[in-house]
Amino acid sequence: MKRRAVLAGLAAAGAAMAAGLYRFIEIFVKHYPATPYDDVLRQLADREQATLLGASVQGAPEAQVLAARLRTAMPDGLAAAARADIAAGRLTEVNGWLLPATVVLLAALAAKT
């Protein structure tokens, strides 16, 4: 009887912790509706800021075109692509800011989704 009570208590505690973790994630971790481009967009550490930046990008192509271009541009991830852009001088001006071209494309995609 005593053992059964302990197990029940542990189970209840576990359930409470799981519920708490769920609520924590709900509250503190950002969620975005699923898109066909999540494989690309997950490269962004802060999608809200990227979306804000992307809203200032002029003349960006459609989302699926952007995504296709980004999948090609980032075989080794965003950081490597951004560094390659900088080394090659592939910078794009957004509202005057000089930014790596891949970062701008990604921000533009975030703004379109």
Partner 1 sequence: MSAFVDARTLPSGTVLTPDIAIVGGGPAGISLALALANTKLDILLLESGGANFDPVVQALYSGTQSGDDYAALEAGRLRFLGGGTNHWGGWSRPLDAIDFEKRDWVPHSGWPFARTALEPYYPRAQALIEAGPWIYDKGDSIASAKAPMLPLGDGGLYTSWFQFSKTRDGVLPTPFGTRYQGDLKVAANIKPLLNANVTAIRLAPDAKRVDRLDVATLNGNRFTVKPRQVVLAAGGIENARLLLASNDVMKTGVGNQNDLVGRFFGDNPVPRDVATLVLFGGKRAPYYGNNLNMGNGAVMRAVFTPTAAFARSKHVMGSLTTMEHPVELDETGKAATVTTATALGVDAANASAYSVGCGMELMPDPDRRLTLTGDKDALGLPRLKLHMRVTDADFAKYRQTLSELGRQLLASGAGMLRLNCSKRADWLKNMDWGHHHLGTVRMHDDPKQGVVDADGKVHAIGNLFVAGSAVFPTYGASNPTLNLIALTLKLADHLKKVAA
In this complex, which beta carbon is closest to partner 1, that of residue 64 or of residue 95? 95
Cα–Cα dist 42/47, whole Å: 8
Looking at 35, 56, 68, 69, which residue binds partner 1 (CB under 8 A)?
A: 56
- Report the residue number, 1 or 87, with the smaller CB distance to partner 1: 87
Query: How far apart are CB 113 and partner 1 at their closest, in Å?
Result: 15
Q: Which of 40, 41, 44, 73 binds partner 1 (CB under 8 A)?
A: 44
Of the candidates 33, 32, 22, 94, the one whose C-alpha atom is nearest the C-alpha of residue 59 is 94
Report the alpha-carbon distance of residue 66 to residue 46 in Å, rounded. 19
**14, containing H or E segment:** helix 2-28
Is 29 among the residues that bind partner 1 (CB under 8 A)? Answer: no
Residues forming beta bridges with residue 92, ordered by sequence position: 99
Shortest spacing between CB 68 and partner 1, in angstroms:
20
Sign for the CA dihedral angle at 91, 113, 38, 70 comes to negative
Q: How far apart are CA 69 and CA 60, in angstroms?
A: 12
Least Cβ distance, residue 13 to partner 1 (angstroms): 36
- Positions that interact with partner 1 (CB under 8 A): 43-46, 49-50, 52-53, 56, 78-79, 82-83, 86-87, 89, 91, 93-100, 102-103, 106-107
